[in-house]
Structures are given as structure tokens and as C-alpha cells.
């Protein structure tokens, strides 16, 4: 007998589960319940509709209710809310929102793809006209209407996560003066501070005001529309930002209201607890997407990762398991990418902050290779941070910022993390090369080679945050005089690389030497010269470029 599957929630996980279930069974009865008017839409594309990069609203609709009905024979019920679940009788209580009519819907298998809710902290004045969350198509419609009706000139975006940064970029594109307010010391929390620093510089270079480590204290009512049409945004520091529109991107939390009515276990992170098959703690109830707690693939810790890719795969896995095709979700790597004006930032796996908090041993290397062969026109520098296990060389995490080539490198590195690859493996990867696309030693290969050198003891690394006036070591700059004239680490010694062998007598042998150049290659060569001449030496990973931007951000 074919099962009756009731799926609560569309968009990524729910719609993916419904379509996969139909492909596996023509006989199954499939009911897809969606609270909003749109069953499957591109919520990641919403900011780009605000800025006009996605010109047609229709393009945001990945699939319509009617399309799912006709192509997949799915009973789609939009504007219908699930109120409660009786897991004993296997009934879910539904309410049709336009009419208010309530009824019970029986199920054989129930799938919760209920997503996440925007965080709404208790800030005075949070809810008022001109303040908007951005999660759905009705949200973006309301934003577009307000922008047009009020001829907005000044926008305040509260929150420096993915949606906040993308929306800030698009409002700037529309000609508004934009301010970003972030309670943390950095934007894009999955990045480490030394990598987020590149985003800070890029944001400010476009005239966007960035307030870090300065949360909103309250939203005051403006005295007149001329002063501000939405709010006076008052920060903890006392700074007041007039806003004609406020976008609230304060993050999200798993939507577990319905799960609690069914008696499902909620995990330590606040998400619905599921096993590797996406089964909840109650038989015949499954869950997927932003509402669930999953395992971090690298650390093994419980986590909530609200990303579209994992949600789609989890929905598919549920359908497979319902029909007997055993399928597991091995954990989340958290691979993500973001564009901010002219640069992209991407990450995969664990960041340094997480590993340090867990007390796990790790090694970090920074490098700044070109996006393709440096002799071919248009090559742009990449900033890469690679984190690996110092015992076995296994890749634990990667972060990349740059103008081009970020996406393909992070995808290779995400694949490497999933495959438990090591620095040796990265060095040996055979990747596509032609001058317009890459280099004979691709940045991924270079990252592996640097890691190999560390693991083999050919070089020891120092890190930007160790550089301090009272540090016990000597800092040696091996750049040219022209480079040094543009900026230098205070109190550092200067000996250009090509003069180093002849000037070794100028260096102390009773103190450790930390050597640096611009991006790390020449200082590695210098470190090898010094080490083989009896000096105790470390190479400043990422060199002056990483130190300079990380320090500038730390003092911002």
C-alpha cells in the first residue's frame, strides 16, 4: 500500500522532498502544505530583486502550486497553516488562513520542513512602519512598495550576515546611502576576523557606513518625515542614524513550534533533533532544512546551518528513506559564498574560532596567489586561509576572499573536506589549467604544498596576532626598499631577500627571527636560508598583507 505523505513547508526542503517522493512513487498520495502564497521560491534571490539585478519578479518563483499539481500530481495547499500534530492518531491540524477553516489531515508519514523564524530581540521600537524582515516574496513586495512610495534616501541594515550584506549592496545600487549596524566585531560570522577584514575594507570603500561592535539600543520615532521616514536608529555608543527604511537581518532561529506540539525532541542548539536518516524522535515524523539540528561534519558537534543546499539534500534523503532507499545525511560542512560589491567571500568547514573554542589542535596558513596565471592579463589576488590538522594533515576548513576564482576554489576545497583529504592530497590534485583560468600550480595546489612544508618541518609559521611591541622575537622584513616605504611593521629589521646571504652577520643568533615579505613566498625562501645557517626562524604566514589588513580591522 502506498503511503500518504504530508509535508509541512515548501521552498527548499519541502518542495525537494515532494518532487523526489513523486519520482519514486506514482501511487503515493502527497500533500504539500505552505503557510504563504508561494510554495517554492528563490529566497536567496530576494535581495537581488530589490536592486534590480533580477528584473522580473516572476523569476523568483522556482515552481508554482499549479506547476506542482500538473507535473507532479501533488496536492498543494497554499495559505494553509499547520497548527498542531497528534502523533498518536497521526493527524495534523490545519487552518486555511483566508477562510479560518480548521480540519484534521491524516498522514502515514509526516515531513516537517518548517524553516526558521527571524530573530526579534526585545529592542524598543523594533516593529513599526518602514521596518522590514526579508524572508519571503510578500516581504520583498512590501520593501519595494515602501522604497517607491517614500522616495527613500537613507537605509539602515541591522545585521551583517548574508541577507544583510546582500541587501545593503542592493540598496546602495539603488542610490540610497546605506549604513550597516552589526553587534559583533565583524560581519559574516562564519569567517574568522582576519578574513572578514577584507569585507570591512570593501564595504567602506563604497561609501557604506559600517558600525561594528555597536548594537542597536532602540529605534526612536522621528520628529518629522523630513528627519527620517522610518526611524532614528540609536546605537549603544549613542550614535543616531536617521533611516527612511530599516532592514532587519538579525539572524534566524529554528521554527520548532509545530514540532513541540508533536512531542519531538529539541536539540541543544534549538533545532529539531534528527538522526542521520532525518528521522525525528517520534516514529513516522521526519524533519529537514533550517529547523533541524544536524552534525558538523568536521567537528562532530551539533549545529544549525540555515543554507539552501543542505535543505534540498535533506528533503531528498527523507523521500528516499520513506520508500526504502536507504540514504544518510553525513553532516554539514557549511559551504557558502557571498558577493559584496566587487569581491566574493566563501568558506567551508570549520573556522579557527570554532576549533579554538573546542580546544582542538589545528594549524593555519595564509596565502595570496593570483586567480589565474599572473602573466595573463586580468589576474587578481586571492586571500586564502587554510586550516588543517597538524597530526595527519587533514583539511579542516577553508576561507577565501577575492575578485574572481573564489567560487571554483572553495568548491574544490569543500569536496576535499568531504573526502577527508590531506595537504598531500591537495598538493597532488590535477586541476584544469590554461592561462585565462588558472596556474600550473593552482592556488589549491599551493595551499597543499605550504601545508606539506609545515608538516614536514621545513618551515614553522608565525601568525599576524603574535606581532606585538613586546614580542620576544625579531621581525625581519625581506621586501624591497620601495615596498617598505609604503608601510612596515614597527621596529622590524629590513634586509632585502637578495642581500640576505651577505648580511647574515647583522642578525642576532640568540633570538628567534620572524621573517616576512609581501605575501609569503620570499619570506619562505628567506626562512629556508636562515634555518640552514643555524638561525631559529619562523615565517609570518600571509606576510605583510595579512598582518596589515587584520591589524587595521582589529583597530577599526
**CA gap 129, 462 in Å, rounded:** 51
* Pair 32, 21: CB distance under 8 Å: no
For residue 47, give the H/E element and its range. helix 46-50
End-to-end CA distance of the chain: 64
303 is catalytic: no
- How many angstroms separate the Cα of 260 from the Cα of each of 102, 281, 318? 19, 11, 20
Look at residue 246 and give its three-state secondary structure. Answer: strand
**In 10 A of CB 41, how many CB atoms?**
24
Task: Please list, residue by residue across 190-224, b when 16 or more beta carbons sit within 10 angstroms of its beta carbon and e when fewer do.
Answer: bbbbbbbbbbbbbbeeeebebbbebbbbebbebee
The three cell numbers of residue 47 are: 535581495
**CA gap 12, 28 in Å, rounded:** 21
The three cell numbers of residue 503 are: 648580511
- How many angstroms separate the Cα of 81 from the Cα of each of 135, 141, 534? 17, 21, 73
For residue 260, give the H/E element and its range. helix 257-261
* Pair 455, 391: CB distance under 8 Å: no
**131 strand-pairing partners:** 246
**CA gap 435, 427 in Å, rounded:** 19
**In 10 A of CB 182, how many CB atoms?**
27
What's the gap between Cα 230 and its chain centre?
29
**CA gap 464, 365 in Å, rounded:** 11
Which one is catalytic: 44, 152, 347, 517?
44
The three cell numbers of residue 301 are: 558537534
* Pair 121, 236: CB distance under 8 Å: no
Burial grade of 236 (CB within 10 A; 0-12, 13-18, 19 or more): middle
Looking up cell 595546489 gives 445
Look at residue 340 and give its three-state secondary structure. Answer: strand
Among 33, 178, 42, 207, which residue's Cα sits nearest to residue 113? 33
Looking up cell 601568525 gives 463
- How many angstroms separate the Cα of 76 from the Cα of each of 27, 66, 240, 243? 16, 8, 47, 40
Q: Which residues are catalytic?
A: 44
Amino acid at each position: 500500500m502506498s503511503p500518504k505523505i504530508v509535508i509541512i513547508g515548501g521552498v527548499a526542503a519541502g518542495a525537494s522532498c515532494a518532487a523526489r517522493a513523486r519520482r519514486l512513487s506514482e501511487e503515493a498520495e502527497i500533500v504539500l502544505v505552505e503557510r504563504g502564497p508561494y510554495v517554492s521560491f528563490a529566497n536567496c534571490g530576494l535581495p537581488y530583486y530589490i536592486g534590480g539585478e533580477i528584473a522580473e519578479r516572476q523569476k523568483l518563483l522556482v515552481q508554482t502550486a499549479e506547476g506542482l499539481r500538473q507535473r507532479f500530481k501533488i496536492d498543494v495547499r497554499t495559505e494553509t497553516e499547520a497548527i498542531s500534530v497528534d502523533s498518536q492518531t497521526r493527524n495534523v491540524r490545519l487552518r486555511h488562513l483566508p477562510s479560518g477553516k480548521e480540519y484534521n489531515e491524516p498522514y502515514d508519514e509526516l515531513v516537517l520542513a518548517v524553516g526558521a523564524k527571524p530573530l526579534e530581540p526585545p529592542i524598543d521600537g523594533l516593529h513599526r512602519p518602514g521596518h522590514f524582515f526579508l524572508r519571503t516574496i510578500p516581504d520583498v513586495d512590501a520593501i519595494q512598495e515602501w522604497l517607491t512610495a517614500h522616495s527613500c534616501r537613507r537605509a539602515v541594515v541591522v545585521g551583517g550576515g548574508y541577507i544583510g550584506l546582500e541587501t545593503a549592496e542592493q540598496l546602495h545600487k539603488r542610490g540610497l546611502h546605506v549604513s550597516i549596524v552589526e553587534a559583533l566585531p565583524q560581519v559574516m560570522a562564519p569567517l574568522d576576523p582576519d578574513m572578514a577584514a577584507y569585507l570591512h575594507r570593501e564595504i567602506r570603500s563604497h561609501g557604506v557606513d559600517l558600525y561594528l561592535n555597536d548594537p542597536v539600543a532602540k529605534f526612536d520615532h522621528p520628529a518629522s518625515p523630513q528627519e527620517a521616514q522610518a526611524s532614528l536608529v540609536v546605537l549603544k555608543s549613542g550614535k543616531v542614524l536617521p533611516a527612511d527604511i530599516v532592514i532587519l537581518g538579525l539572524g534566524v532561529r529554528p521554527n520548532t513550534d509545530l514540532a513541540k506540539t508533536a512531542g519531538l525532541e529539541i536539540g541543544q542548539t534549538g533545532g529539531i533533533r534528527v538522526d542521520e536518516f532525518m528521522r525525528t524522535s517520534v516514529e513516522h515524523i521526519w524533519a529537514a532544512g533550517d529547523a533541524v539540528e544536524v552534525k558538523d561534519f568536521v567537528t562532530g558537534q551539533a549545529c544549525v546551518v540555515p543554507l539552501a543546499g543542505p535543505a534540498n539534500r535533506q528533503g531528498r534523503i527523507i523521500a528516499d528513506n520513506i520508500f526504502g532507499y536507504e540514504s544518510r545525511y553525513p553532516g554539514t560542512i557549511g559551504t557558502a559564498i557571498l558577493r559584496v560589491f566587487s569581491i566574493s567571500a566563501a568558506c567551508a568547514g570549520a573556522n579557527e574560532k570554532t576549533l579554538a573554542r573546542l580546544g582542538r589542535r589545528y594549524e593555519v596558513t595564509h596565502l595570496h596567489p593570483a586567480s589565474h596565471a599572473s602573466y595573463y592579463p586580468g589576474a587578481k589576488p586571492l586571500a586564502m586561509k587554510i586550516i588543517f590538522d597538524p597530526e595527519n594533515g587533514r583539511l579542516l576548513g577553508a576561507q577565501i576572499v577575492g575578485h574572481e576564482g573564489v567560487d571554483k576554489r572553495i568548491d574544490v576545497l569543500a569536496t576535499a573536506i568531504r573526502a577527508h583529504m590531506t595537504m598531500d592530497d591537495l598538493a597532488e590534485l590535477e586541476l584544469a589549467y590554461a592561462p585565462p583560468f588558472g596556474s600550473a600550480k593552482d592556488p589549491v595546489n599551493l595551499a597543499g604544498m605550504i601545508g606539506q612544508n609545515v608538516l614536514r618541518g621545513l618551515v614553522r609559521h608565525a601568525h599576524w596576532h603574535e606581532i606585538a611591541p613586546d614580542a620576544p622575537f625579531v621581525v625581519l622584513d625581506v621586501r624591497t626598499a620601495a615596498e617598505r616605504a609604503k608601510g612596515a611593521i614597527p621596529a622590524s629589521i629590513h634586509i632585502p631577500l637578495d642581500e640576505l646571504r651577505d648580511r647574515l652577520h647583522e642578525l642576532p643568533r640568540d633570538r628567534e627571527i620572524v621573517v616576512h615579505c609581501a605575501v609569503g613566498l620570499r619570506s619562505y625562501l628567506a626562512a629556508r636560508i636562515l634555518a640552514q645557517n643555524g638561525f631559529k626562524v619562523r615565517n609570518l604566514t600571509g606576510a605583510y598583507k595579512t598582518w596589515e589588513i587584520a591589524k587595521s580591522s582589529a583597530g577599526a
